[in-house]
Structure 1
Amino acid sequence: MRYVYSFDHKHRRPPMEHKDLLGGKGANLAEMSSVLKLPVPPGFTVTTDACRAYMESGWPSDIDDEIARHVAELEATMGRSLGDANDPLLVSVRSGARISMPGMMDTVLNLGLNDKSVKGLAKVTGSKRFAYDSYRRFIAMYANVVMGADADAFEARLADARSATGAATDADIPADALVSLCTDYKKLAKEQTGKAFPQDPYKQLRGAIEAVFASWNGARAVAYRVRENIEHTLGTAVNVQTMVFGNRDERSGTGVGFTRNASTGENKPYGDFLVNAQGEDVVAGIRNTQNLDDMKEVFPEVYDELLDIFVRLERHYTDMCDTEFTIEQGKLWMLQTRIGKRTGVAALKMAVDMTKGTGKGADRWKITREEALQRVTADHLDAVLHPQFDTSGEVVATGLGASPGAAVGAVYFNADDAADAADRGEEVILVRNETSPEDVHGMMVAEGILTVRGGLVSHAAVVARGWGTPAVVGAEAIKIDGKQFTVGSVTVREGDVISLDGSTGEVVVGAMHTADAEPPEEFEILLGWADKVRKGKLAVRANADSGDDAANARRLGAEGIGLCRTEHMFLAPDRLPVVRRMILADTEEEEAAALDELRTVQQADFEEVLEAMDGLPVTIRLLDPPLHEFLPSVEELKIKQASGGLSDQERRELAAAEAWSEHNPMLGTRGVRLGVIKPGLYAMQVRALLDAAAALRKRKKHPIVEIMIPLTVTREELALARSWVQTEVDSALKGMKNKPDITIGTMIETPRAAVRADEIAEAADFFSFGTNDLTQLTFGFSRDDVESRMMPAYLDQGLLKRNPFDTIDQTGVGDLVRLGVERGRSTKKKLKMGVCGEHGGDPESIDLFYRAGLDYVSCSPYRVPIARLSAAQAVIRNR
């Protein structure tokens, strides 16, 4: 198997189509080198195949010769040799997975330097300071990444060197001090690791490549993949690239640039750069950066060349691109490009703008509306629906608004403390001088992120935008001291609450009030396009239990209600005592009186829901949970009995709670089984529903009612339950003019129901797949017990690729859905089918439901826009 490819290798297909093999970074470096002919420093890619082989059985035995051959070719191309004492070739070693994981894996720069070659570098460049600055960077990075030394110890020595020499910045430390620092660094590496710093450049290269492979399974990379739902088995490629030096002199620099604004979507390039610096300095936020407009003044010719390359990249990729570049003594080098991450607002604006065309003449290009729909993700839509502050507070500091949205939370100053606080249920704001990949677990749980240093392309900004987390960066007025920060006379301590506005960059002490967001106009434009694509193919309904929820769902584009849970109506404070009277009734008369009282209030509830969805179908699920859920806790009543005694009512409630108590209530007397024991309960609900429909018909409304019987597992069970419902329907409709539309169906939520769907369909007008319970019963998981305790371990260890309660299990539960559809329609060809579990709002699950042949998905009201988009994307993808 071939493991190594040069950037300029002639692939049979465009290199950017080989991301599975070359990784995203390697594929795009090859694309820029061999197709676009951009100024890219030469290099080669060690493939993801090599990484997977390494993870399975260690360093591949046949890879050394390949790497050596490519190093020799690189040396011939550059006219310099790795580790040469007179004119050394230096390389960078960077990770590059198929899916971008910014900052989550390791990088080594300046590889090839040693005690001899650093002198050659000083001689050939004429700058001792530059050579030893590069060497001290390499020693610190290699010692940390490859040898396992503590990075903070090296940073502390660097700070001591700045202080001892009176240097304002790292760039001001004189050459002789850097020589001493390199000696100190090598001693420190030996002290911390027990190993001498390697002088052989080929051993350095082997160690760096192996360290990048190993970093694929590092804690921060695993945590990021779990957060982003990236498969753990993909592995990373490694890119070995000729070093170019942005820290060579004042005519050199480095930067990160976007072809258009990743925060707002404005069609204007933006980014950050630093003079006399290396790339890590920009993204780490160690020095505050300058923007591209400043670059026009410092490097005017390079600026023009860079913007010309931006135009070429956008035209080639037909999308906004994120780039890294270095200027070495006035010459521009492109180090990387990729499709850039963007905020929700920017994603919507770019998608719509790009359908109108961009550029002029031969450079003009545009995308179709269907392509635009595929550029927007569920997270983008979610982000523009984030709450915003509805009042203004006293602003104590202002930074750069790096990721829009309003965030309120308690301040924590390191990732571990933030994660612990989030585990306790606190809403957290992570405050750091600058973030690094080591902070990812704290960033993941934070409501917002605030950094003192860094620009719009710093680590904090890029990661926050990718996750839709509000962030403010570069708030320089803030001074962090241990577990507090100060701004002028204001002190904020750990645990104090602050508010961040990720749009304006404002920081406010205390909790500000938030209001619903007002999505940009592109939001409705794109969803309108989505509705046209999916029309007649996959409808979107909402799960709603009240008139207000139903009205909100309709406002957000729901085409009906797929699940109205009637038990939620019973839990209202004025209903619960009546439900308990019904459960505690000693006589049929008492039970009938309680049921009649419930019928009156249920009718009012149903009228509100049906009126809000007038003319659209509403699926009403008859009572599902076991009756003990409406009674006080047995444990609490027994404690009270032991400590102070119970009233007569409480004694009756305790007896009833014990009588209805079950060892496994999820598999007990619930759903249709409850109806078998208490058929009067279902009869009451159906009468209330029909009375509500009749009242609306008198008001010239058009209610469309779907009565759903939960948890049926046999044809006979559904036929019996249907007979109760049909009796009430026939009685209510007898002699009625303007009869409402009424159908009767069931939930498919057990494996048996899916397997015997052909039989159950004989007694059903429709099916609704309850994928929450179907998942529990297929896996044998109790969701309430496994999600917090067991699921994280299963995901971290790769025992499950995804949490099956978030995204449907494609080959287990998904197969049952497909089988249920196939067998149900073998009995009734036009049987209406939908899904009402929480998976109805998940994009990947929606794709499966469309392929399975469902007529609609149903989800919570605020997920309706996401489901509308995802349904259209499923239609486009599966044509």
Structure 2
Amino acid sequence: MTKWVYTFGGGKAEGGAGESDRLGGKGANLAEMCSLGLPVPPGLTIVTDACVWFYAHGKALPPGLKDQVRAGIAGMEAITGRTFGDTRKPLLLSVRSGSRASMPGMLDTVLNLGLNDRSVQALGHDAGDARFAWDSYRRFIQMYGDVVMGLDHEVFEEILEDERARLGHELDTELSAVEWQHVVQLYKDAIEEALGEPFPQDPEVQLWRAIAAVFSSWMNARAITYRHLHDIPAAWGTAVNVQAMVFGNLGNASATGVAFTRNPSTGEKALYGEFLVNAQGEDVVAGIRTPQSITEAARLASGGDRPSMEKLMPEAFASFSAICERLERHYRDMQDVEFTIERGTLWMLQTRSGKRTAKAAMRIAVDMAEEGLITRHEAVARIDPAALDQLLHPTIDPRARRDIIGSGLPASPGAATGEIVFTSEEAVAAEKEGRKIILVRIETSPEDIHGMHAAEGILTTRGGMTSHAAVVARGMGIPCVSGAGNIRVDLRNEQIIAGPIVLNKGDLITIDGSSGQVLKGRIAMLQPELSGDFGRIMQWADAARRMTVRTNAETPQDARAARSFGAEGIGLCRTEHMFFQGARINVMREMILAEDEKGRRAALAKLLPMQRSDFADLFSIMHGLPVTIRLLDPPLHEFLPKTDAEIADVALGLGMEPAALRRRVDALHEFNPMLGHRGCRLAISYPEIAEMQARAIFEAAVDAARETGAPVVPEIMVPLVGLRAELDYVKGVIDAVAREIIDESGIGIEYLVGTMIELPRAALQAHSIAEAADFFSFGTNDLTQTTFGISRDDAARFLQTYIEKGIVSRDPFVELDYDGVGELIRIASERGRRTKNGLKLGICGEHGGDPTSIRFCEEAGLDYVSCSPFRVPIARLAAAQAAIGQGG
């Protein structure tokens, strides 16, 4: 019989931390903590395979599951001395999700399961607190009614708000047992009226419907969005954890909280978290009550006026602090833990590797390596390369004037400016229009995931450092200020009000996620300095990696930025980008529209000094590092005017009749320019273009070598080669120009001539092409297009549908297609090096900055990757991780 259930409790557990694939992260770590002898309420985990089975069989529970769950509950009953469904000493359960990858707030949970009209009386008698019992029952009905029965939680919130107003209570804690009993009845009446069925009283029915609901939440809209954003496969499924309830809402000697073993924003080695007295877990993350600091140091630093857990509950704090230290050393990573204190007794409800900002990740990795907890290679492997984008975000210039209109908690670092919007739908719409926005909410919920992703930053007026907004924003790497209580959100009039200041939807604000300040208008920003812990990690990464990292750059600004980020040369200089600037495009148009070679050469003579200056700048900036320059690649019609107004304007400048220019433009138009008269085909049709570019390159190399004293060895790339004869022809033109420059200058010039492999034929004929080539550079943008037969410009219309329907798992223009495009790269690499041992191989498409694609490049034995300047640090780190993974 298939084993669907693993149990834990009483210091024993089936499974452990290494089995998260089956048990999910939560279940695996509960089992691990139990085996370590930590205080964990007993429970059971339904494996992820059951979720997969559930969806494969029309949302039915697998055979044998119910018997195994009942057996697991019997074990929980033996440990706790309580009985599920009993009306004297009832065992209440939590039913919680647990994916193998952390998905905070995306999946569903049901607490206090097992309560009904009879057992609530027993719970109150057993606890000696009727108010607690009825409060727990109303919580259960509200959560179950929303998650399992599908009645929107707002219905319950409105009932509660109306009752508080009627009774004159501001807080839930002010309601008495009798008042809660009345709220419970109102909740049950609302369910029956809206759904046509009563709230279920049978605990067994409650249990199985709750388990099915948690499985169903795996495919809810917010979970699907989150998985898409974080590359979590839908095929994984979620586990379900059924656990004995412990109560943080049993009076002032009880509490619940969330903590990190180190600061997730800064990486400081100190307990960091919040707790609430007399509360259940959802109260902390919901942000409906202002939480208190766990440590006294944190309370003092934040200026909090309520006692810390360290002061209020010193014995529980001492136990908790010791457990946190033990968990961190056991897992050798910063932990995110949930806990409950029930009348002075501490219970651990969860541990997992904590989400952290990139800045914190750097510090934690460096500190742990220096503490001897992990190795330097492990420290490098711990950093998510994509998260380095967080370190490249601007911060507010300290010299800038700050018009502060409010402040909250610094929930996620970095600064952002944008227009105010109040809904996630508005945020998504604004992003599509290219507008930068700040999503302003009273509090966010998991349903806001799409709007949060579209925003430059997030501002909430409620919630703490562990609220939904804070946790999700940190994970996304976007700035967030939470709990800005001195700002009021008026949703009806679409305004935010801060004292006398009123700002409307569309007004600009700036948030500083590092200080918690909210500022009016746009504020000057500074780029961060990549030093300190970042520098240490990158130093260790550079020592570990095998491949070099170059940049794609045509301008001095991009080249300098890339050098500051550690680029080791230029892997792709797209010379056509140099012709679109200023007056150059008119000279380029003059060349294209010339009637004969003489006219073309006259225009090219004007372009020569411009190109020479461009290349000299790049060679000087790179100071002896390799620079790969691609000859003109796009079809000529891309440089020509398109609209009637543009044609009239250009015709005037060139002294032509607009009608004649229109005829020439039409003659040069191509039906499929991607596969048309471009690349080496231009150099063969018009060798004078290649001659001019080669002369500019060699003359610039001579000038730069004289200026810098560093030898310049230009690498000239011939694009779109599919035939060995094409490369032979263009290389002949380049070699002839080189001889001329050597003769004219009296200086020897070393140079390489290679090609961009971007056609399947070139990959298959690499053994022949390598006879003429000094290097191959894989242009994976076009190689993906020509391999799939998909235009990158049009693919967005259907690729998302392909991903959603499981036809492909990733966009092949973002993450390299291992099986097709990757196979062509492997073939070309092997055949090319079989012909020419030591043939230099690189990649210069957009995939050169994608960590997963970089791992493939390491496996394929490429010498370098090249990417955009701001992705250079990402590529350096990813290349190191790939080498470490390969045993380098």
Q: Helix, strand or coil for the counterpart of 1:327? A: strand
In the alignment, the residues of structure 2 paired with residue 414 and residue 478 of structure 1 have an alpha-carbon distance, to the nearest angstrom, of 17
Structure 2 residue corresponding to 1:798, chosen from 795, 801, 806: 806
Q: Helix, strand or coil for the counterpart of 2:771? A: helix
Q: Which is worse superposed, 851-860 or 677-686?
A: 677-686
Structure 1 residue corresponding to 2:585, chosen from 563, 576, 580: 576
Match status 1:780 vs 2:789 = yes
What amino acid is aligned across from residue 67 of structure 1 in structure 2?
V
In the alignment, the residues of structure 2 paired with residue 272 and residue 41 of structure 1 have an alpha-carbon distance, to the nearest angstrom, of 21
Residue matched to 1:361: none
Pairing 1:91-170 to 2, within 5 Å after superposition: 91-170=93-172
Residue matched to 1:369: 376
Match status 1:530 vs 2:537 = no
Q: 1:532 to 1:738 in 2, by over 3 A?
A: farther
In the TM superposition, what is the alpha-carbon distance from 1:741 to its structure 2 partner? 2.2
In the TM superposition, what is the alpha-carbon distance from 1:371 to its structure 2 partner? 0.8
Structure 2 residue corresponding to 1:175, chosen from 170, 174, 177: 177
Residue matched to 2:302: none
In the alignment, the residues of structure 1 paired with residue 56 and residue 863 of structure 2 have an alpha-carbon distance, to the nearest angstrom, of 44
Q: 1:310 to 1:212 in 2, by over 3 A?
A: same
8 Å CA contact 1:632–1:653 kept in 2: the answer is no
Residue matched to 2:682: 674
Match status 1:484 vs 2:486 = no
Q: Helix, strand or coil for the counterpart of 1:704? A: coil
- Give a deviation string over 1:182-240, Cα, whole Å, max 9, x none: 11111212223233211111111111111111111111001011111111211111111
Pairing 1:279-678 to 2, within 5 Å after superposition: 279-293=281-295, 294-357=308-371, 366-390=373-397, 391-482=400-491, 483-534=494-545, 537-633=546-642, 648-678=656-686
Residue matched to 2:845: 837
Structure 2 residue corresponding to 1:868, chosen from 869, 876, 886: 876
8 Å CA contact 2:106–2:226 kept in 1: the answer is yes
- Give a deviation string over 1:693-751, Cα, whole Å, max 9, x none: 12223333311200000011121222222222222222222475442320000001122
In the TM superposition, what is the alpha-carbon distance from 1:649 to its structure 2 partner? 4.7
In the TM superposition, what is the alpha-carbon distance from 1:392 to its structure 2 partner? 3.1
Pairing 1:41-52 to 2, within 5 Å after superposition: 41-52=41-52
Q: 1:585 to 1:454 in 2, by over 3 A?
A: same
In the TM superposition, what is the alpha-carbon distance from 1:462 to its structure 2 partner? 0.7
Residue matched to 1:33: 34
Pairing 1:249-260 to 2, within 5 Å after superposition: 249-260=251-262
- Give a deviation string over 1:418-437, Cα, whole Å, max 9, x none: 22222222111111111110
In the TM superposition, what is the alpha-carbon distance from 1:794 to its structure 2 partner? 2.5
8 Å CA contact 1:90–1:242 kept in 2: the answer is yes
In the alignment, the residues of structure 1 paired with residue 415 and residue 665 of structure 2 have an alpha-carbon distance, to the nearest angstrom, of 44
Q: Alignment length, in residue pairs? A: 866
In the TM superposition, what is the alpha-carbon distance from 1:410 to its structure 2 partner? 1.0
- Using the size of structure 1 for normalisation, the TM-score is 0.96
Q: 1:490 to 1:851 in 2, by over 3 A?
A: same
In the TM superposition, what is the alpha-carbon distance from 1:797 to its structure 2 partner? 2.8
In the alignment, the residues of structure 2 paired with residue 325 and residue 878 of structure 1 have an alpha-carbon distance, to the nearest angstrom, of 39
8 Å CA contact 1:471–1:500 kept in 2: the answer is yes
Residue matched to 2:275: 273
Q: Which is worse superposed, 403-412 or 79-88?
A: 79-88
Match status 1:17 vs 2:18 = yes
In the alignment, the residues of structure 1 paired with residue 124 and residue 160 of structure 2 have an alpha-carbon distance, to the nearest angstrom, of 20
Q: What percentage of aligned pairs have identical amino acids? A: 51
Q: Helix, strand or coil for the counterpart of 2:275? A: strand
Q: 1:252 to 1:649 in 2, by over 3 A?
A: farther
8 Å CA contact 1:345–1:520 kept in 2: the answer is no
In the alignment, the residues of structure 1 paired with residue 576 and residue 34 of structure 2 have an alpha-carbon distance, to the nearest angstrom, of 63
In the TM superposition, what is the alpha-carbon distance from 1:11 to its structure 2 partner? 10
8 Å CA contact 1:584–1:652 kept in 2: the answer is no
In the TM superposition, what is the alpha-carbon distance from 1:175 to its structure 2 partner? 1.2
8 Å CA contact 2:41–2:246 kept in 1: the answer is yes
Q: Helix, strand or coil for the counterpart of 1:82? A: coil
8 Å CA contact 2:163–2:183 kept in 1: the answer is yes
Give the alignment's Cα RMSD to 1 decimal.
1.9
In the alignment, the residues of structure 2 paired with residue 512 and residue 343 of structure 1 have an alpha-carbon distance, to the nearest angstrom, of 23
What amino acid is aligned across from residue 22 of structure 2 in structure 1?
L
- Using the size of structure 2 for normalisation, the TM-score is 0.95
Q: Helix, strand or coil for the counterpart of 2:841? A: strand
- Give a deviation string over 1:87-125, Cα, whole Å, max 9, x none: 111111111111101111111111111111111111111
In the alignment, the residues of structure 2 paired with residue 229 and residue 80 of structure 1 have an alpha-carbon distance, to the nearest angstrom, of 42
Q: Helix, strand or coil for the counterpart of 2:627? A: strand
Q: Helix, strand or coil for the counterpart of 1:499? A: strand
8 Å CA contact 1:253–1:327 kept in 2: the answer is yes
Q: Which is worse superposed, 473-482 or 805-814?
A: 805-814
Q: 1:624 to 1:449 in 2, by over 3 A?
A: same
Residue matched to 2:301: none
Residue matched to 1:817: 825
In the TM superposition, what is the alpha-carbon distance from 1:376 to its structure 2 partner? 1.1
Residue matched to 2:305: none
8 Å CA contact 1:326–1:335 kept in 2: the answer is yes
In the alignment, the residues of structure 2 paired with residue 193 and residue 783 of structure 1 have an alpha-carbon distance, to the nearest angstrom, of 48
Q: Which is worse superposed, 541-550 or 698-707?
A: 698-707
What amino acid is aligned across from residue 223 of structure 1 in structure 2?
T
Residue matched to 2:835: 827
What amino acid is aligned across from residue 565 of structure 1 in structure 2?
R
- Give a deviation string over 1:119-162, Cα, whole Å, max 9, x none: 11111112111111111111111111111111111111111121
8 Å CA contact 2:648–2:658 kept in 1: the answer is no
In the TM superposition, what is the alpha-carbon distance from 1:638 to its structure 2 partner? 8.1
What are the ranges of 5 or more consecutive residues in structure 2 without an aligned counterpart?
296-307
What amino acid is aligned across from residue 390 of structure 2 in structure 1?
A
In the TM superposition, what is the alpha-carbon distance from 1:637 to its structure 2 partner? 5.7
8 Å CA contact 2:11–2:38 kept in 1: the answer is no
- Give a deviation string over 1:830-852, Cα, whole Å, max 9, x none: 11000001111111111100000
Residue matched to 2:778: 769
Q: Helix, strand or coil for the counterpart of 2:420? A: strand
Match status 1:235 vs 2:244 = no
In the alignment, the residues of structure 1 paired with residue 850 and residue 810 of structure 2 have an alpha-carbon distance, to the nearest angstrom, of 12
Q: Which is worse superposed, 304-313 or 697-706?
A: 697-706
8 Å CA contact 2:592–2:600 kept in 1: the answer is yes
Residue matched to 1:360: none
8 Å CA contact 1:697–1:738 kept in 2: the answer is no
Q: Helix, strand or coil for the counterpart of 1:89? A: coil
Q: Which is worse superposed, 264-273 or 801-810?
A: 801-810
In the alignment, the residues of structure 2 paired with residue 134 and residue 156 of structure 1 have an alpha-carbon distance, to the nearest angstrom, of 18
Match status 1:757 vs 2:766 = yes
In the alignment, the residues of structure 2 paired with residue 379 and residue 640 of structure 1 have an alpha-carbon distance, to the nearest angstrom, of 45
Q: Which is worse superposed, 78-87 or 331-340?
A: 78-87
In the alignment, the residues of structure 2 paired with residue 825 and residue 640 of structure 1 have an alpha-carbon distance, to the nearest angstrom, of 52
8 Å CA contact 2:10–2:34 kept in 1: the answer is no
What amino acid is aligned across from residue 697 of structure 2 in structure 1?
L
In the alignment, the residues of structure 2 paired with residue 630 and residue 190 of structure 1 have an alpha-carbon distance, to the nearest angstrom, of 68
Q: 1:872 to 1:603 in 2, by over 3 A?
A: same
In the alignment, the residues of structure 1 paired with residue 374 and residue 657 of structure 2 have an alpha-carbon distance, to the nearest angstrom, of 69
- Give a deviation string over 1:376-413, Cα, whole Å, max 9, x none: 11233221121111113111111111110011111111
Q: 1:115 to 1:836 in 2, by over 3 A?
A: same
Residue matched to 2:56: 56
What are the ranges of 5 or more consecutive residues in structure 1 without an aligned counterpart?
358-364
Q: Which is worse superposed, 62-71 or 705-714?
A: 62-71
Structure 1 residue corresponding to 2:861, chosen from 825, 844, 853: 853
What amino acid is aligned across from residue 7 of structure 2 in structure 1?
S
8 Å CA contact 2:760–2:786 kept in 1: the answer is yes
